[in-house]
Amino acid sequence: MAAPTAYSLIATDLDGTLLRGDDTLSDRSRAALARATAEGARHLVVTGRPAPRVRPLLDELGGEGLAVCGQGAQLYDAGAHRLLWSVTLDRELAETALGKIEAEVGMLYAAVDQDGVDGLTLIEPGYVMPHPTLPAVRVRRRDDLWTEPISKVLLRHPSLSDDELAAAAREVVGSLATVTMSGPGTVELQPCGVTKATGLALAAEYLGLSPAATLAFGDMPNDIPMFDWAARGVAMANAHPELKAVADEVTLSNEEDGIAVVLERLFGARAMGQETVQETARPKAWEKARATAGGNVSQ
């Protein structure tokens, strides 16, 4: 059944967007998503969290469907519990990039997300998890971070703000990696060319949907590529100023069910008079992603 609004794909970030500060999903948001999917829209989680840290939430939402994880580096099939597509960050490049940033700003604390559906989050001494509810394994020294393939590196600085650290990292990293800021205390290095937009494009092509049919919600600068790709981008009231500047709309905060407010407006009234956007996928998104993404690509 085709969705009754112009949007057949609803792409939502998690932290600071769909989830409340305590990592819970409100009954109102859950009901609004259920109504939208009952009307024919597809809900797609698009998050910086790696696949293993997304599975519990997807189970809560029904345990099936796709999710774009790791800032676009992973396309996860929750029903089959497997990665349909993944890109790893070359560990030598990651070490080189980390060294360049430290030469510029001084000592950093680092962590990594390992690749795979059972990959661990490893943190070196001194690194503090920005989301204390997410599990992590502390290692004895930095060299222990590189023992297995990784999807990204997470960085923290003892005194610089996230904006300052991200700006400094972009100045020196160049093409070694993509630098993103995805939340308080969360500056990350991921494979060069990989963003939420590249992951979302792959997922949309897999589902047979188009950018013109996509409504995206987010709260941080790492959501900017996703907003650029989608037909409409909605920022939360608590969003970073950089994202608000490029958003088509600003809704209420994640604590105030801002996503539900928008979805209730679009789907709650059964706006059957609106035309449904033609669902044609962006051509060759898979091939383009494989050609432009850094690191190692697998399917």
Give pLDDT tens digits along the chain (299 positions). Answer: 344 467 999 999 999 999 999 889 999 999 999 999 999 999 999 999 999 999 888 887 776 789 999 999 999 998 899 999 999 999 999 999 999 999 999 999 999 999 999 999 999 999 999 887 788 999 999 999 999 999 999 999 999 999 999 999 999 999 999 999 988 888 999 999 999 999 999 999 999 999 999 999 999 999 999 999 999 999 999 999 999 999 999 999 999 999 999 999 999 744 433 333 333 333 344 444 444 444 445 55
For residue 64, the model assigns a pLDDT of: 76
- The pTM of the full predicted model, rounded to 2 decimals, is 0.87
19-46 per-residue burial string, b: 16 or more CB within 10 A, e: under 16? bbeeeebbeebeebbebbbebebbbbbb
For residue 276, the model assigns a pLDDT of: 33
Condensed to tens digits (0 to 9), the pLDDT of residues 278-297 reads 333 333 444 444 444 444 45
For residue 275, the model assigns a pLDDT of: 34
Condensed to tens digits (0 to 9), the pLDDT of residues 19-69 reads 999 889 999 999 999 999 999 999 999 999 999 999 888 887 776 789 999
